[in-house]
Amino acid sequence: MTEPIIHIDHVTKSYGSFTVLKDLCFSVMPGEKLALIGPSGSGKTTILRTLMTLERIDSGVIRVDGDYLFHMERNGRLVPADEAHLHRMRAKIGMVFQLFNLFPHKTVLENVTLAPMLTKGVRKADAQRRAMELLEMVGMAGKANSMPAALSGGQKQRVAIARALALQPRIMLFDEVTSALDPELVEEVLNVMRMLGTQTDMTMLLVTHEMSFAHDFADRVLFFDRGRIVEEGPPGDIFTNPRNERTQTFLKKIIAAGQRI
Amino acid sequence: MEWDWAFVREIMPTLLDGLKITVLATVLGSALAAVVGLAFALLRRSPNRLVSRITAFLVEFIRGTPLLVQLYFLFYVLPGAGILLSPLTAGVIGLGVHYATYMAEVFRAGIDNTPRGQWEAAKACNLTAVQTWQHIILPQAIPPMIPALANYFVAMFKETPLLSAITVVELMSQARSVANFNYRYLEPMTLVGVLFLAISLIAVPALHLLERRFRRYR
């Protein structure tokens, strides 16, 4: 029996009086493709941001790949993690953002080589060779020397995926990566993700509003509402036969908005 | 009152000597102001409350007192505490630290204008804090600041006559001494004005060119 690669145990987080995550518990198995869906403000993005250590948690414990994320053991007691520990933990995780967040002052190639060179001491020539392979894979090798400002949204997002892959994370987080794209550019990004899903054994967590993609891509779907998981299961069950009333309402609204599931 | 070209030719070498010191003091002073200003801006953002408070107080204090008073302190008061500075050194430090407090505000605004997503992407790329500043934040924040920094550069340049108060023989003090010696003020003071104007007129477009070079990604 393999251990979960992510284990979230009674995690709570609030912004002031607003509780975004309420006593949240779930696990993710290595290689699992997980779709997080739900209305906005339900906490699904917050949990990704928390895993990337962009947000702290108020209480509870998160374990990633056998280690505590925000804690470390010292003399048999759990103490808050120091920066060195967080740095080690971040190396296991990559993230792709809704608004791409490419480094605008660096070329496409430099965006992909920067982190491996700085954080792993990879030599420039090796980093570039590896970056070109990744850019080839996402169909962006032809733009290696372009600046991000010269790219379309879909192209930017594919570069951002290559940048995250360059650090060879075990877990990839995709935070609404197609939400900021023009409709005709969505598919090129989803195609890259499909390819990653079939050709790698990375654990992938995605927050998405693309229900038909979640349906085809995910092994398991978590439906979030008000900081809790109200329903989870294989996409076939959640999308075609939701049991929870709030899941049903949410999916009805999505269908009414014109999405195919 | 008649313009005397022969007198102009006679005093020009002396004035140009003074101009060299003026330009030197400005260049060294602004380099110091940029470095110290950036340090002030970074220290003010320190997560350590005490550090950021002390920096904020120091910046307020330096900005709220006249440069001339600070120059007198550096040059005439500090020797009493055993710290002896040459006139030019005291002048460069005074000018540099005074303007650093203004430049710190420019740096602060530039840094705050860098989108939050850049910090987050740097973290997701597992860069350390120092790497994030060096490779991501400052290279984006500094180019847009150059026009504002250029204004302070020109302002500093025009403030250098204050250094004559602590016996730096810059352009203004050279002009004053030839004027006093010859009882003729028209030519020396006019030339001082013209020389300052000429340098300012050259410096401003040069700094804008610098800005455009740095902003290749826009």
What residues of chain A lie within 8 A of the CB of B136, using their CB?
103
Do B124 and A118 make contact, defined as CB atoms within 8 angstroms?
no
Which of A83, A94, A105 is closest, CB to CB, to B124? A94
Q: How confident is the model at residue A190 (pLDDT cuts 50, 70, 90)?
A: very high
Q: Which residues are CB-contacts of A94 (< 8 A; sequence separation ≥ 6)?
A: A164, A165, A167, A169, A171, A172, A173, B124
Amino acid B151: pLDDT: 87
Do A115 and B125 make contact, defined as CB atoms within 8 angstroms?
yes
**CA–CA gap between residue A124 and residue A122 (Å, rounded):** 6
Amino acid B203: pLDDT: 85
What residues of chain B lie within 8 A of the CB of A119, using their CB?
125-128, 131
**Could you tell me the residue ranges of all domains in chain B?**
12-214
Q: Record the tokens describing residue B97, joined without a space.
A: 């630290």
Residue identified by tokens 């710290």 is B83
Mutate to test the interface with A, among B125, B140, B217 (most CBs of A within 10 A): B125
What residues of chain A lie within 8 A of the CB of B129, using their CB?
83
Q: What is the mean pLDDT of residues B21-32?
A: 95
- B140 close to A (CB below 8 A): yes
Which segments of chain B are extended strands (E)? none
Amino acid A1: pLDDT: 64
Residue B83: CA count within 13 A, CB half-sphere = 9
Which amino acid is present at B164? S
CA B168 to chain A, closest CA, distance in angstroms equals 42
Q: What is the mean pLDDT of residues A209-221?
A: 93
Tell whether the model's pLDDT for residue B23 goes beyond 80: yes
For chain B, how long is the longest CA-to-CA vector? Answer: 72
Amino acid A258: pLDDT: 76
**CA–CA gap between residue A187 and residue A180 (Å, rounded):** 13
Q: Which residues are CB-contacts of A42 (< 8 A; sequence separation ≥ 6)?
A: A224, A225, A226, A227
Mutate to test the interface with B, among A101, A146, A168, A174 (most CBs of B within 10 A): A101
At B120-146, the pLDDT tens digits run: 999 999 999 999 999 999 999 988 888
The candidate with the shortest Cα–Cα distance to A108, out of A139, A84, A87, A83, is A139
Return contacts of B179-184, CB within 8 angstroms, 24+ apart.
Answer: B182/B7, B182/B11, B184/B4, B184/B7
Amino acid B187: pLDDT: 93
Q: What is the mean pLDDT of residues B188-206?
A: 91
Amino acid A106: pLDDT: 96
Which of B123, B131, B216 is closest, CB to CB, to A90? B123
Q: How confident is the model at residue B217 (pLDDT cuts 50, 70, 90)?
A: low
What residues of chain A lie within 8 A of the CB of B217, using their CB?
104-106, 147-149
Q: What is the mean pLDDT of residues A12-41?
A: 93
**CA–CA gap between residue A139 and residue A126 (Å, rounded):** 20
Cα distances (Å, whole numbers) of residue B41 to A117, B30, B45: 28, 16, 7
Note if the pTM is more than 0.80: yes
Question: Percentage of chain A surpassing pLDDT 70?
Answer: 99
Q: Mean pLDDT over all residues of chain A?
A: 94
ipTM over 0.95: no
- B125 close to A (CB below 8 A): yes
Tell me the β-bridge partners of A96: A174
What residues of chain B lie within 8 A of the CB of A97, using their CB?
117, 120-121, 124
Mutate to test the interface with B, among A82, A118, A161, A179 (most CBs of B within 10 A): A118
Which of 3.40.50.12280, 3.90.580.10, 3.30.565.10, 1.10.3720.10 would CATH assign to domain B12-214?
A: 1.10.3720.10
At B166-181, the pLDDT tens digits run: 999 999 999 999 999 9
Do B216 and A147 make contact, defined as CB atoms within 8 angstroms?
yes
